[in-house]
Amino acid sequence: MSDQVWPARLSPAASRYLATLEPAVQELVGDILDIASRAPLHWPQWDTSDPEGADLRAAAVGQLSLIYWINRTTEPPHLYVLTIVWAG
């Protein structure tokens, strides 16, 4: 896991939680982040009733969800994962 190159930054809490997950789930997290980094606005807005929250997104595949913020001030936009939810 230490040689993993992530297309996003993880919050300290997300990073600690990721380290506790099984290797297959860690790989799935990397896959989801790879997809999200290519098209960060593809995933639904976390709270659609918040007009100022368009950059807070939820990427979910099966039992795994990643809540991330899109930093549009960089080119290309960078992602910052706030939390990881594994319901497995």
Residues 37-50: tens digit of each pLDDT: 888 888 888 888 98
- Burial code (b: 16+ CB inside 10 Å, e: under 16) for 55-73 equals bebbbeeeebbbbbbbeee
Residue 1, pLDDT > 50, answer no
The domain limits of the chain are 9-86
Per-residue pLDDT tens over the stretch 5-57:
557 899 999 999 999 999 999 999 999 998 888 888 888 888 889 888 889 99
**CATH number of the 9-86 domain:** 3.30.2310.20
